[in-house]
């Protein structure tokens, strides 16, 4: 992609840094399908340690991380409980139904969060007529909620309720690193309240690919089995694991910079005529609602693209901007000026 492009579509568009590329080139590799890639083994041990779990499994994508965790903890005909705006519902191509044969009971709640009472009300009665409620999925940070962070006390309370009702808990932690950067909590502070936790290396941490699932040894053995079944095992994947290890060591602390960029972006865009910020900016995402008199979200994104700024429409009148390590402060100012021109306002500079 041209250096002139300011790509705010997602934190998945990051490119490996020169130091990360060196780590990948120098990785010691084996055959992960046969279980002897030393760099993958090191990454899995590191993730398990960070999450405070017994074991972890390296997988190619965040979708596979979630779906192997779901399959490992449910049976066909079960029902899992998740917020209606969850990633597993909107962005994983119907995988819970196709791969695990489970139903989803959706919950409502502002910014992707819900309460213990919502879980209580969603658990099915134990009879022959109802699907078996077996798993609660909690997404932190919550993508469609504007990158919202679960307060730790609320997360613990909701997870405890689910476990008391006999459900297991999966934490979709694709952006758990952002949640921890925003709150100061360690990943294990959240993960201890879940049976499994997924994490992603190719979003805010900037690795080219890869996620992981952590949990107890027996569950992770099942995750590894379903990774194979779903076609997710790789051979010399230590090359990718090396990038993830480098990211864990070097790219976590800087996430607060992305959060600050997103707040600066929101402060500036929210002052432009016809634009409003519908959700608080808690991490690296800025959502913008557009007055219909300015056209649709898709129209605005096309105008921005023609001027070198990329963003994604997430609804008829809503655009998402995501800050990441490839977007510096000067680019934020350029993006604001470009949006201002696109909506016909005088260019503004982010404060």
Rounded Cα–Cα distance for residues 172 and 86 (Å): 9
Secondary structure of residue 332 in the 3-state scheme: helix
**Residues 103 and 81 sit within 8 Å (Cβ to Cβ):** no
Q: Which long-range contacts (CB under 8 A, 24 or more apart) does 118-124 make?
A: 119/81, 119/158, 119/161, 119/162, 119/165, 119/167, 120/161, 120/165, 122/81, 123/81, 123/165, 123/167, 124/79
**Residues 313 and 319 sit within 8 Å (Cβ to Cβ):** yes
Q: What is the pTM of this model?
A: 0.95
Q: Which residues on neighbouring strands pair with residue 113, listed in sequence order?
A: none
The domains located in the chain, with CATH, are: 6-12+254-342 (3.90.1150.10), 31-250 (3.40.640.10)
**pLDDT 10s per residue in the chain (351 long)?**
445 799 999 999 999 999 999 999 999 999 999 999 999 999 999 999 999 999 999 999 999 999 999 999 999 999 999 999 999 999 999 999 999 999 999 999 999 999 999 999 999 999 999 999 999 999 999 999 999 999 999 999 999 999 999 999 999 999 999 999 999 999 999 999 999 999 999 999 999 999 999 999 999 999 999 999 999 999 999 999 999 999 999 999 999 999 999 999 999 999 999 999 999 999 999 999 999 999 999 999 999 999 999 999 999 999 999 999 999 999 999 999 999 999 986 554 444
Rounded Cα–Cα distance for residues 181 and 233 (Å): 31
């Amino acid at each position: 992609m041209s250096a002139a492009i300011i790509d705010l579509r997602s934190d998945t568009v990051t490119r490996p840094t020169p130091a990360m590329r060196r780590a990948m080139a120098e990785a010691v590799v084996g055959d992960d399908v046969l279980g002897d890639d030393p760099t993958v083994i090191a990454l899995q041990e590191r993730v398990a340690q960070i999450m405070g779990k017994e074991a972890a499994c390296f997988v190619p994508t965040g979708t596979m991380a979630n779906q192997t965790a779901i399959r490992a903890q449910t049976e066909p005909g079960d029902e899992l409980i998740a917020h209606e705006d969850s990633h597993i519902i909107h962005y994983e191509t119907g995988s819970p139904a196709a791969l695990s044969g489970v139903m989803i009971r959706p919950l409502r709640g502002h910014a992707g969060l819900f309460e213990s009472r919502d879980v209580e009300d969603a658990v099915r009665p134990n009879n022959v007529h109802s699907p078996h409620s077996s798993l609660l999925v909690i997404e932190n940070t919550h993508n469609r909620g504007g990158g919202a962070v679960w307060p730790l006390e609320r997360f613990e309370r909701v997870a405890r309720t689910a476990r008391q009702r006999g459900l297991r808990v999966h934490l979709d932690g694709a952006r758990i690193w952002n949640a921890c950067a925003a709150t100061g909590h360690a990943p294990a502070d959240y993960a201890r309240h879940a049976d499994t936790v997924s994490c992603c290396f190719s979003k805010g941490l900037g690795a080219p690919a890869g996620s992981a699932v952590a949990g107890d040894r027996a569950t992770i053995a099942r995750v590894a089995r379903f990774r194979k079944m779903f076609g997710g095992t790789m051979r010399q994947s230590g090359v990718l694991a090396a990038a993830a290890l480098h990211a864990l060591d070097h790219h976590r602390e800087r996430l607060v910079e992305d959060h600050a960029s997103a707040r600066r972006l929101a402060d500036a865009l929210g002052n432009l005529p016809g634009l409003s910020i519908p959700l608080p900016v808690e991490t690296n995402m800025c959502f913008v609602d557009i007055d219909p008199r300015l056209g649709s979200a898709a129209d605005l994104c096309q105008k921005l693209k023609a001027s070198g700024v990329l963003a994604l429409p997430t609804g008829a009148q809503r655009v998402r901007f995501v800050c990441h390590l490839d977007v510096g402060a000067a680019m934020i100012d350029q993006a604001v000026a470009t949006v201002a021109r696109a909506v016909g306002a005088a260019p503004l500079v982010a404060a």
